[in-house]
Structure 1
Amino acid sequence: MEGERQQAFRAHLLARLEELAAGEALGRGGKKVVELDQQSVGRLSRMDALQSQAMAQAASRMRLAEERRIRAALARLDEGEFGFCTDCGEEIAAARLEQEPAVALCMSCARG
């Protein structure tokens, strides 16, 4: 893969990392411990807060997983292995990389 396309992929991956960091910063408030004092918060409000907390925690886990995939893709870029399947070594289709630059598997290996 030519250097110019690699730099474009790198820029895209780094920009996505910044977006994930910003999303994590915004989501921190939603992960706070929910008060169990029914005097200050009604039962239904507390249940709603618990559900919101669980959703914020799940979103945080998804951001962390995506961050790991992006960092692995950046490492592959540094090692000159970007664009090749990590299982079989075949080249990953350009359209697949354009859609998701952090992808590590070709379609054949992804399907199993």
Structure 2
Amino acid sequence: MTYEVHEEKDRFSSRLATIPGVRTMPSVGDWILLAVDSPSDLARKVNRRLAPGTALGRAFDQGEERSTPPISVPRNMEGQVRVHVRDPKVNEVLLNTLRDVVA
């Protein structure tokens, strides 16, 4: 993980921790684990709002092909979702979408 990604991960993780009902968990690499209620439901709602072709989806993709969903439920990790750390603009789209879905 490059210094820039590590720095963005710290920034993004701090911002995610401000969302009520979301708790950041220790994570490695360019992923952040979040402890949440109803992880499958949360992931479905966020991914639907950020679907390719939607206005938010286009802002999230920034013209790049998506290789992973914005948010996923890792196997064997009950009560958690994971998000991939991307560039700051894309992370802010995800952050705001999460905030809206959780509210």
Shorter-chain TM-score range: under 0.3
Tell which structure's C-alpha radius of gyration is larger. Answer: 1
TM-score by length of 2: 0.27
- Report which structure shows greater RCO (CA 8 Å, sep ≥6): 2
